[in-house]
């Protein structure tokens, strides 16, 4: 009977150790995910700032081209939206 009790005690202790290890690994994974997400946000912010700076430079360098491109993009998007709206009515 003592052997059974010892075996059950060992199984309980092993389960506790396994649970602790799983908890530690989950905690590490969550922390690593948080760090990766923060880096991604930081990179995205820097990329957006670079894009804004590049856009400002190009507009200052060639304003007529910037206006023409903006007009073309607006006309294209307006055409697509208009086409989609008329297509739904049919």
The rounded distance, in Å, linking the Cα atoms of 15 and 87 is 63
47-60 pLDDT per residue, tens: 999 999 999 999 99
Which position has the higher pLDDT, 19 or 41? 41
9-21 pLDDT per residue, tens: 666 666 677 777 8
Question: Angle, nearest 10°, between helix axes 2-61 and 63-89?
Answer: 120
Q: Where are the domains of the chain?
A: 2-89
pLDDT of 63 over the 70 cut: yes
């Amino acid at each position: 009977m003592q052997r059974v009790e010892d075996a059950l005690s060992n199984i309980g202790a092993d389960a506790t150790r396994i649970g602790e290890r799983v908890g530690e690994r989950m905690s590490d994974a969550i922390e690593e995910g948080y760090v990766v997400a923060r880096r991604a946000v930081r990179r995205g912010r820097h990329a957006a700032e670079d894009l804004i700076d590049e856009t400002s430079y190009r507009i200052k360098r060639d304003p007529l081209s910037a206006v023409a491109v903006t007009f073309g993009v607006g006309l294209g998007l307006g055409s697509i939206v208009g086409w989609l709206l008329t297509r739904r009515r049919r």
